[in-house]
């Protein structure tokens, strides 16, 4: 079964892969007509199809065309303006089929006996009781004496909960498109048909995942609603890594980002941007004595980043172990990256942790090679399950897994193989987790956004991009992921 949200993701991702919604509609109508013809000989028989305003109406119009091609006498009942652009194109075809298909307005329709009646009225977008003329259309459909077929789900039924909103269609058969919607149950037969959605639409992260995960802010939003992030990183030498992670989090939409670093490093970070809140830790590097200073900030925020630019001294190792235990006790969403992976090698994590190693860090942290090609998926899944964490294994294609599920990401380009792009990714993932997005989803959506931002930068700068260039393109990658993701210089990574 599938939810409406998951279905919307697949439709957008299919479009990104080159399978337009018009083609999915064509496949849906053809499949519905074939399923009907397999059950009932429609030749020289009368068929009526009730058509709504949206995409489901378009599926019904395509069904009408194919059933007419099978020799059926088809009547299309319209409920007003067809608003979906693909459906409107199919209506124009039907209007020219004036020899084989009759068109009637719902207000003129009188119920009688047909061989088949097809419900193409209301789809997955319904969230309230149907209004006129759809309310009347549902009643007239139910009064029609026929073998009744609903496309995808009975009109008037919520696809996720199965709730009905007053008037709803009572079919004999539901023909589910791609998969059965989670709430569609009742005293009717259900069959699912293939409409041509590629498997890669669910295997690879795509723009649909971004659109369904990151929603616009409401007018009533206030500071803090979209999360606070604490970045713990930096030492005497490295101030750029925690800064890039922090800026990545801010550009992704975190309301507040605190960057905790040793005192002199924190002063340097403060000069990079007035948007960063710099926390000055005592000492020249992170040490166990800093954990008490950090605890109030850990309590205050919604997600933590641990690792960028910390170094790998014994002080850092002891401090990271103590911080990890503090995070575990509070079950704080956290991204552990870079130097923290090196000093915490062999340690078990917890389910709200995302670790983000490249191949070298994977070997250090997990004590094994990450493998090549498809083997990386198996190795990564085993490692994530063993350590009870979400793993984002970076590479020429990213593997994201929680040990049970996996997603692949191939956004990005080789020009991103420069210092700091992984730190930006870490900040993006942390910002998404701070918005209460589950770690697995935050990790794979974050990987896609990071890669798309990199591709936008690459389109302008070629192989001369820097990590800072990615930061500036994050908003564009989120705002219009479908258009932005089409800027991809490198595509095939497997096979």
Is 128 labelled a binding residue? yes
123 is in an annotated binding site: yes
Q: What is the pLDDT of residues 393-424, one digit of tens each?
A: 999 999 999 999 999 999 999 999 999 999 99
Q: What value does the mean pLDDT take over residues 45-63? A: 98
Tens of pLDDT, residues 226-254: 999 999 999 989 999 999 999 999 999 99
Q: Is 119 annotated as a binding residue?
A: yes
End-to-end CA distance of the chain: 29
Q: Is 241 assigned to a binding site? A: yes
Cβ-proximal residues to 436 (8 Å cutoff; 6+ apart), any chain: 227, 302
Ligand-binding site membership of 464 (annotated): no
- Is 412 labelled as part of a ligand binding site? no
* Per-residue pLDDT reduced to its tens digit, 364-399: 999 999 999 999 999 999 999 999 999 999 999 999
DSSP H helices, 185-334, are: 200-203, 207-213, 240-252, 263-272, 291-300, 314-330
pLDDT at position 328? 97
pLDDT at 125: 84
155 is in an annotated binding site: yes
Please report which confidence band the pLDDT of residue 96 belongs to, taking 50, 70 and 90 as the band edges: very high
Largest CA distance in the chain: 88
Q: What is the dihedral of CA 433, 17, 466, 458, to 10 degrees?
A: -160
Tell me: the pLDDT tens digits for 465-476?
999 999 999 999
Residue 490's pLDDT is: 67
Q: List the domains of the chain with CATH numbers.
A: 4-200 (3.40.50.10260), 207-485 (3.40.1190.20)
- Per the annotation, does 53 bind a ligand? no
**Is residue 264 over pLDDT 70?**
yes
Q: Among residues 470, 445, 453, which one has the least CA distance to residue 210?
A: 445
Is residue 189 a known part of a binding site? no
Say what the alpha-carbon torsion angle 298, 385, 390, 310 is, to the nearest 10 degrees: 60
Q: Are 48 and 220 in contact (CB under 8 A)?
A: no
- C-alpha to C-alpha distance for 376 and 117, rounded to whole angstroms: 50
Q: Which helix (H) or strand (E) holds 189?
A: strand 189-193
Annotation-wise, does 127 bind a ligand? yes
pLDDT for 177-204, tens place per residue? Answer: 999 999 999 999 999 999 999 999 999 9
Q: What is the mean pLDDT of residues 29-44?
A: 98
Separation in Å, CA 283 to CA 264, 316, 432 = 8, 12, 31
């Amino acid at each position: 079964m599938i939810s409406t949200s998951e279905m919307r993701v697949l439709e957008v991702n299919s479009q990104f892969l080159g399978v337009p919604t018009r083609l999915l509609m064509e496949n849906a109508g053809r499949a519905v007509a074939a399923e009907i013809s397999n059950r009932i000989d429609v030749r020289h028989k009368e068929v009526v199809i009730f058509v709504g305003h949206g995409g489901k109406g378009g599926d019904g119009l395509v069904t009408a065309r194919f059933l007419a091609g099978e020799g059926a006498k088809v009547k299309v009942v319209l409920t007003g303006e067809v608003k979906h652009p693909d459906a409107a194109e199919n209506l124009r075809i039907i209007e020219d089929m004036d020899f084989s298909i009759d068109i009637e307005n719902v207000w003129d329709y009188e119920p009688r006996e047909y061989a088949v009646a097809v419900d193409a009225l209301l789809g997955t977008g319904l969230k309230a009781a149907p209004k006129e003329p759809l309310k009347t259309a549902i009643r007239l459909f139910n009064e029609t004496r026929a073998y009744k077929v609903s496309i995808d789900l009975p009109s008037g039924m919520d696809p996720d909960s199965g709730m009905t909103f007053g008037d709803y269609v009572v079919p004999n058969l539901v023909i589910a498109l791609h998969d059965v919607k989670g709430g569609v149950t009742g005293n009717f037969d259900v069959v699912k048909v293939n409409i041509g959605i590629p498997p890669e639409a669910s295997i690879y992260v795509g723009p649909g995942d971004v659109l369904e995960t990151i929603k616009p802010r409401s007018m009533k939003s206030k500071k803090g609603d979209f999360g606070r992030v604490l970045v713990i990183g930096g030492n005497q030498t490295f101030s750029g890594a925690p800064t890039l992670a922090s800026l990545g989090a801010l550009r992704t939409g975190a309301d507040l980002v605190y960057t905790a670093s040793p005192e002199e490093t924190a002063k340097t970070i403060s000069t990079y941007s007035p948007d960063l809140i710099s926390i000055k830790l005592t000492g020249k590097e992170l040490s166990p004595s800093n954990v008490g200073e950090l605890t109030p900030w850990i309590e205050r925020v919604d997600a933590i980043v641990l690792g960028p630019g910390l170094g790998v001294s014994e002080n850092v190792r002891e401090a990271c172990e103590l911080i990890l235990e503090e995070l575990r006790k509070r079950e704080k969403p956290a991204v552990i990256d870079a130097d923290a992976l090196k000093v915490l090698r062999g340690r078990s994590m917890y389910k709200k942790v995302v670790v983000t190693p490249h191949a070298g860090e994977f070997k250090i942290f997990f004590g094994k090679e990450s493998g090549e090609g498809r083997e990386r998926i198996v190795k990564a899944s085993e490692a994530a399950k063993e350590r009870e964490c979400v793993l984002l294994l970076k590479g020429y294609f990213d593997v994201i897994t929680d040990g049970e599920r996996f997603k692949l990401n191939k956004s990005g380009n080789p020009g991103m193989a420069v210092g700091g792009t992984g730190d930006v990714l870490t900040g993006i993932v942390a910002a998404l987790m701070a918005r209460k997005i589950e770690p697995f989803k935050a990790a794979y959506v974050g990987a896609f956004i990071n890669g798309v931002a990199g591709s936008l930068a690459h389109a302008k700068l070629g192989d001369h991009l820097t990590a800072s260039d990615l930061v500036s393109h994050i908003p564009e990658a989120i705002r219009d992921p479908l258009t932005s993701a089409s800027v991809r210089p490198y595509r095939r990574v497997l096979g």
